[in-house]
Amino acid sequence: MGSYASLVRQSAILLAFTLVVVGIAPAGAKLWCAVVGTGALVFFIAVSILRHRQIGRLSTQIDTVLQSGRQLTFDKCREGDVAVLANELEKMVARLARTTDQLARERSALADSLADISHQIRTPLTAAELMVPQIQHADDASSRKRALRELEALLDRVAWLVTALLKIAKVDAGSITVRQDQVSAAAAIGRGASPLAAAFDLHDVTLAIDVQDGATFQGDEMWTAEAIENILKNCMEHTPAGGTVSVVAAENALACTIVIADTGPGIAPEDLPHLFERFYRGAQDAERDAGPTPNGFGIGLALAQALVSAQKGTLRASNAPDGGATFQITFPKLVV
């Protein structure tokens, strides 16, 4: 109603102007001025009514989009500034529809992740809860001390799981700070391997490192070291006593590659496509972790891939021809 009231006021002003022009025009030009003024008034009213109808139709369609969430096409508008507005609104609606779909997918993924996280944390906590009565009713100090060490190790793994999940969440949210420095491959590998030195000795697994002199890459030493640590840990846990985990780093004109390989049983073909999925546990892992204190949660390799990808690198897994698993980290020098 407000828009039509404005039309009436504008038409009245144009009519008054026409009457004034007709009044002051010479006698021979009065008829011509009246005809031209009337034609202009009729044309103005027709165009204004058409535009008001188009805008009203757009308003109705926008209300429909807002209320029902449906994506509509503004295809009844033709050339003109209203059509330009309609096209821009259509682009906006299309983008909002894509954003809504993306948010729905992310909400579903978040719900699945929360369910997985709840399950992964509940399992070791249940095991810890079952170990408490065993500690309370232990017959001797030696049995109690052994059970306490197992409980401590289990709680340490839960703490590691929570920390790893927080890091992955930060990577997903894009809130981690990734530096782009000139990183020494030897320094990153050494930093990643250092925390596992005692674990390699306990597992009776040899760690062999061979780094090309001067090999460097553009990235973040701290996050790369953490990714390498998770891969080394995975390889160590899948390598039998007396085996070897090797790290070879080399640089060429195109990229710097870090290859980590073990002498374990390798990766089952059915597990390869899912190896970097969060919480994925292959058949070998299920058998190895069948005890009350599982050795892994299926999160280490997912975290490693997330950290490498955040630095514009790639992480791939395969089986070596002579057996064993192989992980290759590549930091390209040229981005095409």
Domain ranges of the chain: 2-99, 179-336
Query: What CA–CA distances, in Å, run from 115 to 118, 242, 259, 289?
Result: 5, 39, 34, 21
**pLDDT computed for residue 325 by the predictor:** 94
Q: Which of 10-14, 192-196, 235-239 has the lowest mean pLDDT?
A: 10-14
What topology is assigned to 179-336 in CATH? Answer: Heat Shock Protein 90 (3.30.565)
Instruction: Write down the pTM of the prediction.
Output: 0.62
Check whether 38 has a pLDDT greater than 90: no
Instruction: Give backbone dihedrals phi and psi of 263, rounded to 5 degrees, phi first.
Output: -110, 30
**DSSP label of 194:** G
Which residues have a Cβ under 8 Å from the Cβ of 314 and sit 6 or more positions away? 308, 329, 330, 332
Q: What is the pLDDT of residues 184-208, one digit of tens each?
A: 999 999 999 999 999 899 999 999 9
Q: What is the pLDDT of residues 265-306, one digit of tens each?
A: 999 888 888 888 877 766 555 555 544 444 556 788 988 999
Q: Which of 166-170, 259-263, 317-321 has the lowest mean pLDDT?
A: 166-170
Q: Which is more confident, 305 or 58?
A: 305
| Highest mean pLDDT out of 87-91, 146-150, 201-205 | 201-205
Q: Which is more confident, 64 or 179?
A: 179
DSSP string, 134-169: HHHT-SSHHHHHHHHHHHHHHHHHHHHHHHHHHHHH
